[in-house]
């Protein structure tokens, strides 16, 4: 049994003088890029192209401004980065970058700040209109403005916490069950392996869903400032 349950999320397993080498797993995405340039694409390339095309169509519907051509590439790249990092964390001995707020917040906060700066500089009245829901009673307007402002300010935090919490929860459950295997008999161990396999399938689905949710919410936030 581990002395600390959260030690599997500790990025300081292998240290250099000033940088934790575990964070290098974030850039394993680079490994999958060269095969995309082969003259004869593989089945995996075709599958990835189909996924990206579907995601692109989803994002294109949400971005209503026709002047923002090509902006879906940002959100498709964001989806790819989060998805691959989520999946990398499911492999043994690979550090899960997306289970840390320093990773998720560094994605959500700069995007949200850039949306806010763009919106308030270019569409000031539109941004003010977002603070007051249509048809709201006049006496409630001050409270609604405060509520809308707070809900807007916590958006990058909720994006980051949602992704981090979902990644940590699944990994902790897998770790707890895995650590109990040494004390079980053969019959119980077989049941544990089946449960672990089912949980791994569930975590794979969570990895895809959370990458999609993060990128789709970011796209929605960007469409609100247009």
Alpha carbons 158 and 101: distance in angstroms, whole number = 11
Q: Are residues 103 and 167 in contact, defined by beta-carbon separation less than 8 angstroms?
A: no
For residue range 28-82, what is the model confidence (pLDDT) as tens digits?
767 767 766 666 777 888 888 898 899 988 888 888 776 777 788 889 989 988 9
Separation of alpha carbons 59 and 223, rounded Å: 10
* pTM (predicted TM-score): 0.83
pLDDT above 60 for 6: no
What digits encode the pLDDT tens for the residues 145-158?
A: 888 889 889 999 99
Q: Could you tell me the CA-to-CA distances from 89 to 86, 104, 129, 219 in Å, in that order?
A: 5, 14, 42, 25
Q: What are the sequence ranges of the domains in the chain?
A: 7-224
Closest by Cα among 117, 121, 123 to 64: 123
Residue-wise pLDDT for 103-130, tens only, equals: 899 999 999 999 999 888 888 888 888 7
H-only helix segments in 123-185 = 124-130, 141-153, 155-179
């Amino acid at each position: 049994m581990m002395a600390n349950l959260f030690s599997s999320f500790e990025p300081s397993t292998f240290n250099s003088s000033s940088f934790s080498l575990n964070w290098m797993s974030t850039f394993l995405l680079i490994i999958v890029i060269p095969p995309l340039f082969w003259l004869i694409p593989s089945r995996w390339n075709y599958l990835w192209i189909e996924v990206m095309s579907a995601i692109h169509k989803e994002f294109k519907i949400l971005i209503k401004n026709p002047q923002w051509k090509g902006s879906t590439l940002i959100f498709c790249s964001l989806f790819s980065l989060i998805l691959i990092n989520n999946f990398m964390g499911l492999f043994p001995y690979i550090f899960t970058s997306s289970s840390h707020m320093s990773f998720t917040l560094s994605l959500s906060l700069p995007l949200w700040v850039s949306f806010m700066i763009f919106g308030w500089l270019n569409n000031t009245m539109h941004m003010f209109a977002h603070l007051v829901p249509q048809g709201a009673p006049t006496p409630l307007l001050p409270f609604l403005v405060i509520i809308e402002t707070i809900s807007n300010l916590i958006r990058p935090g909720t994006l980051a916490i949602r992704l981090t919490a979902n990644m940590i929860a699944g990994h902790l459950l897998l770790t707890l069950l895995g650590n109990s295997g040494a004390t079980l008999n053969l019959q119980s161990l077989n049941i544990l392996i089946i449960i672990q396999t089912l949980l791994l399938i569930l975590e794979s689905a969570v990895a895809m869903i959370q990458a999609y949710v993060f990128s789709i919410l970011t796209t929605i936030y960007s469409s609100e400032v247009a």
